[in-house]
Structure 1
Amino acid sequence: MRYVAHRLFAAHDRALAAALANRLAVKLGEDQVFLPFCDTNEEDLVADLKGRRLFELDRDRLRRIRALIAIVHGPSPDDGVCMEIGYAVALGAPVILLTTDFQEYSATLHGSRSVFPDPLLDALATRIVRIPRLGTPSEPTGDTRFADFAARNHAQIQEAIDACAEAVLQLPSPGAATPRPSRDPHTVFVEPSPYTPVHGGLPAATGTTVLRSTRFDAADPITAARRDWATALCSSRIVVDTSGPETPPGAALLIGAACATDQPVAAYLPHSTYTHAAGREPNFRNLMIQYGIDALLRTPDEVTAWIGG
């Protein structure tokens, strides 16, 4: 099963994901592709806790995938998609990241650049399919310049879909399941939010070694990102600061990994902006985040107590 992960709250995002899923279905067979929202029947699904039920359906599919294909665009990658990426990588599934974003990102003005705003995404990807330029100009349509511009964007999207589908076909057959790393019972990994004023400001607990992410201050952020990932997965538990306009990519990736491997993970979130959708219970974050964590911590004292627990 190939799982297509995408931002799903607006029609244009769903349409792009559906076009990619359809292309894969033509090449692999319709029963070999899973598309969230579509295949969980989100529009018409009825459940006591609809958000939790959607989380369970998506998680069950993630446990059985051969590959994950994620559409990731812009400076604020979707936190649900990042959670799904972290889940897949932790279980050893190959991950292809598709982007048409023409921007690159760095922590400092002249620092090393990455394709994505968090270099952990670059580090975890099996392959990045990047089509950052408009399609080749064609003969004028005879309508307006806006129609011609739209045609070039559609051509870019089709090129991206074609390249991504080809990348999926080139993936090797699944190997042995990835063994879970051994965990040090005396260490806790803390992932601060890049959006908070004081980076690394979460407190420590007496008697516990607290390890923190290093990639945002590293000369080689991709190598440091791989080290952060390995360190986090070898810790007894993880605390992530989910402060920001949405859960930061690194925090969401680690929540996904912890959820996949039954590693305790808590989210520090002093203030919430709730989202509401017809038929769903309110979410304080993306439902993949809300139901992927073991604890929601609102104060530094709660963080200290959870780390020490």
Structure 2
Amino acid sequence: MPAVLSVEKLYKSFGSKSVITDLSFDVEKGSIFAFLGANGSGKTTTIRCLLNILKPTSGTTSVFGSQFSLDMAPKIGYLPEERGLYATTRVAETLVYFGELKGIERRKATTWAYEYLERVGLSDHAQTEIKKLSSGQQQKIQLGITLINQPELLILDEPTKGLDPVNRALFMNMFADFNAQGATIVFVSHQMDEVEQIADSLVMIKNGKRALYGPLQNVKQQFGTNTIHLSFSGEIPVNDALYEQTHTEKNETQLTPKPNITPKEILHFLTEQQLTISDYSLGAPSLQDIFVRVMDDPTY
């Protein structure tokens, strides 16, 4: 599949401070691509370079096969990290106004706006001023502005930040629907469960450099398939020589074997410690665990 977005040997510095270093990745047409990294790792800077908001120090970026230009705007929906709306404008008129700015005929923009408000549960607020909406409701309007031109490419910078679980699920379903219609989606997120739910591939950057890149399942397999998922009663003993314990919830946990340690050795040790194990399985670590390990590991 052809690349919709491409970053090749990207460097970006602000004065003497290097923000992006030798970053390369491609986003295939029709994919859902997650862009991951800790706060301040360079994700937003990379997006701004792709959209020609910032000029790279060196390296190249391309959108639809060439450097971004304004004539590509009708094919792109961009939800930036910093968001803002006209406080005293009414909800429906806000959507219609931005639709017209994107070249949509007013009647079509109005029809789309009301259909969208119905879908996101805001049809009763069509004539409400923006300033009277909650932050989550305003976020739905921001997303509507991003989607109204039915873009081929969505670039979303933390689209579910601050949303409750119900509205997070609503957004995830809408992204999946847009992707099913052929849209390519690139999204920044710190919610690893969201990434595992819908992404097919990812890039993870650390201190401006690429740490992990590729199809989601391939990335997970790099970290082995022998993570132990346990259901137990009692208390898991600490044993830094055998395993690392991560992602503990109530009576469930994950244990990642240390190098050259087998799951069988760990289970034998735990039973010797009189831990009652009600269920266990082997599998790849969660993306949350992988993220934490990469961020904590100085070799990445």
Please give the TM-score of this superposition, normalised by the length of structure 1. 0.26
Which protein is bigger by CA-based radius of gyration?
2
TM-score, with length taken from structure 2? 0.27
Please state which structure has a larger fraction of its residues in strand: 2
